[in-house]
Amino acid sequence: MAVTQPSDGLAYPLKPVRLGIDTHQELVVYLRRNSHVCRSEGFTSSSRVQIRVGERWILATLSIIDNDQLLQPGEMGLSESAWKKLDPPPGSEAQVRHADPVLSLSHLRHKVYGHRLNQEQTQAIIDDIVAGRYSDVHLSSFVTACAGNSLDQDEIIALTTAMLKSGRKLDWGHQRVVDKHCVGGLAGNRTTPIVVAIVTACGGIMPKTSSRAITSPAGTADTMATMAPVNLDLKTLRKVVTEHGGCLAWGGSVNLSPADDVLIRVERMLDLDSEGQMVASVLSKKAAAGSHHVLIDIPIGPTAKVRSEEAADLLSRHLIETGKALGLDVKVVRTDGTQPVGRGIGPALEAKDLLAVLRNQPEAPQDLRERALFLAAELLEMAGLCEPGKGLQKATETLDSGAALKKFIAICDAQGGFTEPNMAPYQYNWQATKSGRITGIDNRQLSQLAKLAGAPEDPTAGVTLEVKLNTSIKPGQLLLTLHADSPGELQYAVDFLEAHPQMIEIS
């Protein structure tokens, strides 16, 4: 909803009707083509309009309907997202009028034609995005115009600063608040909950707010949601961090860099996660959460998001320089991105992996354990919680003693209660048809396979990978298991798997 009162002007009273149409987060209003409003105002489909009920108002995209049975004369239909945002009282009347011109669209066109954006122009765009003045078409144009390498270092800093200013900024009263982020592109790799548990068990402060998945089959918030509530209000988040040193929450629930959540929704639809916007997304959220020291994990591999050392060099420079501009101490580490980490790919399956590590179970994936310990060790040293060079020892002792598990459960309970992740009701086992050695595992295709099975929308859907690179296999040996919530989704994923058997290469 916009933050200022719309300008006065001619408006037409209509009765709002909840049509129950899911338009995701886009606000949509529906009018009959023969309504007096459409005729007098010259409204057409895709027009941007202001709708007001009392003091509450929204900007929405108009859709025209020709089926007179859906709406009666004098009625206005609202999509689910528009209805929830406007929240009209029973019996109320809504007024609809043309939306005021969005002046920052001239800056967007400036960028579309290949010109640079300065801080003032970028701030105007972000302010309008947060205020809801951009339709999905405008948002898609902005995301696309900033994709690839079209943002230089100054533009990335401007975008990050604008996104940070668009919401609230937390302050914990400490100078050693830490956070971590993985740039992604590596299936599985759900180290964050383990790292938060270890660092906070050692006395560190780590208010971890995470995004949901953009192009992957699970984000940290998606995985955590299978074990504990993540949609925390600000009061609850502050209480959890104050009492336990950290949290594992969804950042969108506490208005931290709110523009980021809008852009992520569009990036997800476009299947884009561009470098400049990723830097702005990550660091604006870290700064907004009150962090001072940030560890960035960049996995490098042929099918990871970052495929070469040269690409990692460029991304590292952007992250470090942007961090400096925001007053953040950013450290970048490079890790192996040649194959998935852990066994599970998908929210609940990744949750089971990280719980096995925290519980020190013999069957816990050792690669996930070792990577989490490495990252936790780096953060412990950055936070001054141990002597230089002693981070790995301290992290290992904290995990092995059960202190990390105890802290993790305490954080989950404080956020609303811990629950064991569920399992999907339908599975399909894919077995090797020949003997040989695993010489390649395609991260991207495995992630796509998990998404086709239903992840992350279906939390229990995904893939369990049963092999690693360079392991020897025999005919009939299990390579992976598909998990789905319905037979149709399972078959959809099986069809893709059978069409792409090379996602696991056997030589």
Look-up: residue for tokens 């943002």? Answer: 151
Element (H, E) at 105: helix 105-112
Cα gap 466→499, rounded to integer Å: 20
Cα gap 303→310, rounded to integer Å: 15
Catalytic residue IDs: 273
- Domain contains 120: no
pLDDT digits (tens, 9 = 90+) for 75-99: 999 999 999 999 999 999 999 999 9
Q: pLDDT grade, residue 11 (50/70/90)? A: low
The CA-based angle 280-281-285, given to 5 degrees, is 110
Cα gap 465→343, rounded to integer Å: 5
Q: Are residues 495 and 366 in the same domain?
A: no
Mean pLDDT, range 196-218, rounded to an integer? 92
Domain that holds residue 63: 12-98
pLDDT digits (tens, 9 = 90+) for 363-380: 999 999 999 999 999 999
In angstroms, the Cα distances linking 276 to 30, 157, 212, 279 are 36, 9, 19, 5
H helices within 271-402, ranges in order? 275-288, 309-326, 347-358, 366-382, 391-400
Instruction: Say if residue 9's pLDDT is above 60.
Output: no
pLDDT digits (tens, 9 = 90+) for 266-303: 988 888 878 899 999 999 999 999 999 999 999 999 99
pLDDT at 291: 95
Mean pLDDT over each residue of the chain, to the nearest integer:
93
Beta strand ranges found along 211-268 (DSSP E): 246-250
Q: Which of 165-169, 376-380, 420-424, 502-506 has the lowest mean pLDDT?
A: 165-169
Question: 242 exposed, middle or buried (CB, 10 Å; 0-12, 13-18, 19+)?
Answer: middle
Q: Are residues 399 and 470 in the same domain?
A: no
Q: Are residues 365 and 495 in the same domain?
A: no
- Domain contains 271: no
pLDDT at 157: 98
Q: Are residues 330 and 432 in the same domain?
A: no
Q: Which residues of 9-27 are buried (b: 16+ CB within 10 A; e: fewer)?
A: eebbebebbebebebeebb
- Written as one letter, the residue type at 191 is T
- Domain contains 131: no
Query: Which of 391, 414, 437 marks a domain boundary?
Result: 414
Query: Got the DSSP string for 25-55?
Result: T--EEEEETTSHHHHHHT--TT-EEEEEETT
Question: 101 exposed, middle or buried (CB, 10 Å; 0-12, 13-18, 19+)?
Answer: exposed
- Written as one letter, the residue type at 264 is I
Query: Which of 98, 120, 148 marks a domain boundary?
Result: 98
pLDDT at 149: 84
pLDDT at 212: 82
Domain of 500, CATH number, reads: 3.90.1170.30
Q: Which of 153-167, 172-186, 419-433 has the lowest mean pLDDT?
A: 172-186
pLDDT digits (tens, 9 = 90+) for 23-78: 988 899 999 998 888 888 888 899 999 999 999 999 999 999 998 888 999 999 99
Which tokens sit at 238?
């502050």
Cα gap 159→322, rounded to integer Å: 10
Query: Which of 98, 121, 138 marks a domain boundary?
Result: 98
Cβ proximity of 125 and 115 under 8 Å:
no
Number of domains observed in the structure of the chain: 3
